[in-house]
Amino acid sequence: MKEAVLRVFRGTSDAGDLVEYRVPVAPGMVVLDALHYIQGYLAPDLAVRWNCKAGKCGSCSAEVNGRPRLTCKTRMDSLPLDRPVVVTPMKAFPIIRDLVTDVSWNYEVNRKIPPFSPRPGTDWKMSQADVDRVQEFRKCIECFLCQNVCHVLRDHGKKAEFGGPRFFVRVAALEMHPLDGVSRTKLLKEELGLGYCNITKCCTEVCPEDIHITDNAIIPLKERVVDDFYDPVANLLRKLFGRK
């Protein structure tokens, strides 16, 4: 059987190192299978966060050869096995141990977002075309790879001022829900720091669900913020005719 060499980060945020493991490679094997092999036979205390191993829960995010990936969807045969496969934790979050990071900040951001609030008197009828647009955003499995890769968070550490792509997707889902009746543009502008995003599209590239984060969520939200806060004509029209 073929063998692969994995170099896996072992340690905490204080200290750690890459440790080498040799793992037999089976057909169709993914990186998470290799990590499970290490746990099962070589290092039972290797910390890995995972759940479904089916690309549906977004738990097993890590960086494989420097690229943010779901380890359950990264096939070993897609990687060059003539050199070691390097597996490290997500860089934008504090390391708890080995490949497990502290992602609790994301849950704090989420709490700031006003929930779905149906317009009064709705009859709950919606067309599939209107629902399609939002369903794209609802596919998000919260793997936080987009948060991990976003330079505003990864390189500039602006966690206090910036919500990150995941939560722009969530706000977009609420704002574009056919029956939602509240506006979240003030939140986007003032608390989630939408203006920091300079649409480099790194988030879209790493999304395992193929959500067009930049084009379909962030840019339309930026337009809404501009309409609500910076467009004098729209402001005047709003004063005359009213809008949500």
Partner 1 sequence: MSHPYEIHEHDVLVVGAGGAGLRAAIESLSRGASVGVVCKSLLGKAHTVMAEGGIAAAMANVDRGDDWRTHFRDTMRGGKYLNNWRMAQIHAQEAPDRVRELEQWGALFDRTADGDILQRAFGGHTFKRLCHVGDRTGLEMIRTLQDRGVQMGFHVYMECAVTKLLTDGDRVCGAVGYWREQGRFVVFRAKSVVLATGGIGKAWKITSNSWEYTGDGMALAYDAGAELMDMEFVQFHPTGMVWPPGVQGLLVTEAVRGEGGVLRNRQGERFMERYDPDKMELSTRDVVARAIYTEVREGRGTEHGGAFLDISQKPAEYVKRKLPSMYHQFLELADVDITKGPMEVGPTCHYMMGGVRVDAETAETTVHGLYAAGEVAAGLHGANRLGGNSLSDLLVFGRRAGLAAAEGADRAPTGSSDGGQVEEATREMLAFFERPEGESPYAVHRDLTETMQSLVGIFRNEQDLESGLAKIRELQDRAGRVRVEGSRLFNPGWHLARDLKAMLTVSEAVARSALLRKESRGAHSRTDFAESDPSWGKRNIVVSRRGGAMELTERPVPEPPPDLKALIEAQ
How many Å is the Cα radius of gyration of the chain? Answer: 21
Distance between CA 157 and CA 173 in Å, rounded?
25
Tokens matching residue 202: 């790194």
22 vs 56, which CB is nearer to partner 1?
56
Kindly indicate which of the ranges 110-118, 154-162, 188-196, 231-239 contains the residues binding partner 1, using the contact rule CB under 8 A: 110-118
Kindly indicate which of the ranges 49-57, 146-154, 217-225, 228-236 contains the residues binding partner 1, using the contact rule CB under 8 A: 49-57
Nearest to 207 by CA among 154, 139, 131, 111: 139
Expressed in percent and rounded to 5, the helix, strand and coil fractions of the chain are 40, 15, 45
Per CB under 8 A, 24 contacts partner 1: no
Q: What binding mask, one character per residue, do residues 179-218 give for partner 1 by CB under 8 A, x or -?
A: ----------------------------------------
**In angstroms, what is the minimal distance from the CB of 47 to partner 1?**
4
- Kindly state the helix (H) or strand (E) to which residue 9 belongs, with its residue range: strand 3-11
**In angstroms, what is the minimal distance from the CB of 76 to partner 1?**
9
46 vs 197, which CB is nearer to partner 1?
46
